[in-house]
Structure 1
Amino acid sequence: MTLVSLAARALSSLAVVGASLWLVPALWFRLPGPEGLRTTVAALAAVLGLVCVIVLWWPQASAIRWRLMGSYLMLLVASLAWWASITPRADRDWAPEVAHLVEGQVVTPARDEASPASARTEAATQGEVLHLEQVRNFVWHSAEDYTPRWESRDYPLEELTSVDLLTSHWMGPQIAHTLVSFGFADGRYLAFSVEIRKERTEQFSTLGGMFKQYELAVIAADERDIIRVRSNVRGEQVHLYRVQMPREMIRELLLAYVDEAETLRTQPRFYNTATSNCTTLVYAMMTRLTDGLPLDYRLLLSGYLPEYVADQDALSDAAPFAELKASSLINPAAIAADEHPDGDFSRLIRAGIPGADRPSY
């Protein structure tokens, strides 16, 4: 066997293995039909790929080597065409907790046309109100038992005072769900979460999330819903950090969430566990608002995201990061505040969080 032939077989083997690592789970997760059919087709594709690799190195198989490789190539081309035909949708039978995406618009007050233009502009800016529809405020009795509530709310943008980063650890210290919560002068908080938009009968799969299993959803919710369900109901470890950010940037980030939800309503996209998730989408929004945010492994290992934010000098300067981290766990306070109404719940979970008693700007 010549060096050229050896290299060709090695590259062909790597190509088949790489293609199979995508093809087999893609067929299993997304091929229409019952689980038995999907399992059978995925297994046959895996066997064909394995046989192709074997015959590449088996001298006595030269007669069938290229016919098998040709068959595998045709299967791969057909699968790629099928894969391209799978497009995201906005009209599925969604699970109740992601049945609606938040809808919002900025409403400006009526202007006195007799006043100077500069005065009218200042008054409009100061009086802007963010009107939201489909704000989630579920009452969770257990992980499967809840009272659904979708509400309309108004938030004066001039009363924005803070932004907080929350990480909810559901798979050890490395992996966490990311939430961002905006605080207002009247003590209300509005939390945003980028989530999988699963169908009514679906369950989350980390691997399935890499194979067009779910669409994306942007949910706006009351903290007593979206934080309490994680800390008190599911038992996830939830950490809260006060973020430092210019007031105008807080406003732009809030509106970016609303704009993202509006876009997803008309142009649905697939969730991807690695590239389009609760953390990377926030990173993408922030890069549109500010320059110089570096790519970092902690954007994938989202449990370490607060350390990344601290490295950008964007966490509260009330204490060093080690102290911020040590004080960030809110589960004991959330459990103690379990029966308290919405505003009290948000206030009580921030007790003892460094910097949470003052604005972000």
Structure 2
Amino acid sequence: MKPPATFFKRFARLAGIVFVGLLLLGIAGWGVLALYYFDHESLALRTGLATAFALASLIAFVGFALPRWRWRVLAVYLVLFAALLSWWSSLAPSNDRDWQPDVAILPYAIIDGDRVTVHNIRNFVYRTETDFTPAYYDKTFDLRKLDGVDLIASYWMGPAIAHIFLSFDFQGGDHLAISIETRKERGEGYSTVKGFFRQYELYYVVADERDVIRLRTNYRKDPPEDVYVYRVNGSAEKGRRVFLQYIEEINALKDRPEWYNTLTTNCTTAIWMHTRINPGHPPLSWKVLASGYVPEYLYEIGRLDSSLPFAALQRRAHVNTRAQAADKAADFSRQIRAGLPGAQLSASP
């Protein structure tokens, strides 16, 4: 029988080899995808580079399986991967591309005490999802009149995935919706996988609700989307802090573009990051990453109306029928909220 020390030494050595092997597998997968989606190079070049890295990875795996060559092959492969990382890290986001019309204009704001003048608020005239006349306006909002913050969830592929964004409600019936999205170039589509590899710039859609909500309820048909509006519980002070966090990021993106990332900088994780400005912000949860469950998560931690079971609240929050009836009405925001539970932000911090 082998001494315990020898057994544990061999076990640790085997575990180390398995760990390094899994690490190599992860590097190979990431490297192939990073090269395949690399910047704006031609498909032929990207495919060739990805294939070459896949072959290099295969050689590294074979060499790693041979004790005599293991560490020399590993060293060469890691040098190759470091070169790829350096090249990939040199990719810089830009505000100067041939953008799709719906994200071509960057919003920005000027802050003067409690008054925030937002420029380039999107309010397109839609005939279909893809046939529209671009239109923008500027508006000044008084932070002292912020009455509420609504969370909007739009579903199109089952309960686990939703696009989440916020709308800020000001006295007098003014609403400003801000949706965190990808800034796509003309002819470019969205891909969850591409979103991991610096393919899209980050974009904040600052819009009238007749644009960003009505687009989803009235014009998107393939696939159709179901939209829900929930009033978030909280104080006016916390709402103002989150609003100003959004404005600061919007202004920063105008001067310093950033990359969108499917996992770390998407519509829900970015919202969660903005809420961290407030003490007692919602803890990070897997339901933040599985975006469709964000409303349920907020209900569970007391951030949504709790006078109804969540299923009943969700049914009331569904606004498609009301939005389709309101359509181009000037009081679109008021009509879609008819019968919705919720309250104004409290005065307490």
TM over 0.5: yes
For 2:307 and 2:345, the matched residues in 1 are separated by: 11
Rate the CA distance shift 1:72–1:347 in 2: closer, same or farther, 3 A: same
Shift of 1:167: 0.7
Shift of 1:141: 1.6
Aligned to 2:256: 267
Q: Which amino acid aligns with 2:277?
A: R
Q: Which amino acid aligns with 1:44?
A: A
Matching of residue 139 in structure 1 with residue 122 in structure 2: no
Residues 248-272 of structure 1: CA deviation (Å, up to 9, x unaligned): 2222222221111012222221111
Aligned to 1:282: 271
Aligned to 1:170: 156
Q: Which amino acid aligns with 1:294?
A: P
Whether the 8 Å CA contact 2:115–2:143 is kept in 1: the answer is yes
Aligned to 2:109: 104
SS of residue paired to 1:354: coil
Shift of 1:273: 0.7
Q: Which amino acid aligns with 1:107?
A: D
Q: Which amino acid aligns with 2:58?
A: L
For 1:28 and 1:217, the matched residues in 2 are separated by: 24
Shift of 1:314: 1.4
For 1:70 and 1:300, the matched residues in 2 are separated by: 36
For 2:147 and 2:341, the matched residues in 1 are separated by: 16
Aligned to 1:307: 296
Residues 146-205 of structure 1: CA deviation (Å, up to 9, x unaligned): 110121112233332121100111332111111111112211211011111222232111
Aligned to 1:81: 86
Aligned to 2:182: 196
For 2:219 and 2:25, the matched residues in 1 are separated by: 42
- The equivalent position to 1:359 in structure 2, one of 340, 344, 347, is 344
Rate the CA distance shift 1:42–1:159 in 2: closer, same or farther, 3 A: same
Whether the 8 Å CA contact 1:102–1:258 is kept in 2: the answer is no
Aligned to 2:141: 155
Shift of 1:222: 0.4
Aligned to 2:47: 39
Shift of 1:8: 5.0
Matching of residue 52 in structure 1 with residue 41 in structure 2: no
> TM-score with structure 2 length normalisation?
0.88
CA RMSD of aligned residues (A): 2.2
Shift of 1:320: 3.3
- The equivalent position to 2:95 in structure 1, one of 90, 94, 98, is 90
Q: Which amino acid aligns with 1:360?
A: L
Please, which runs of 5 or more residues in structure 2 have no aligned partner? 1-8
For 1:51 and 1:140, the matched residues in 2 are separated by: 54
For 1:7 and 1:283, the matched residues in 2 are separated by: 37
Residues 229-259 of structure 1: CA deviation (Å, up to 9, x unaligned): 1122222111111111212222222222111
For 1:170 and 1:44, the matched residues in 2 are separated by: 38
Aligned to 1:349: 336
Rate the CA distance shift 1:286–1:36 in 2: closer, same or farther, 3 A: same
Whether the 8 Å CA contact 1:216–1:270 is kept in 2: the answer is yes
Whether the 8 Å CA contact 1:161–1:360 is kept in 2: the answer is yes
Shift of 1:138: 0.9
Aligned to 2:208: 222
For 1:202 and 1:226, the matched residues in 2 are separated by: 20
Aligned to 1:231: 217
Aligned to 1:120: none
Matching of residue 23 in structure 1 with residue 41 in structure 2: no
Number of equivalenced pairs = 334
Whether the 8 Å CA contact 2:107–2:254 is kept in 1: the answer is no
For 2:307 and 2:117, the matched residues in 1 are separated by: 33
Rate the CA distance shift 1:351–1:207 in 2: closer, same or farther, 3 A: same
Whether the 8 Å CA contact 1:32–1:38 is kept in 2: the answer is no
Percent identical across equivalent pairs?
Answer: 40
Whether the 8 Å CA contact 2:39–2:199 is kept in 1: the answer is no
Shift of 1:274: 0.6
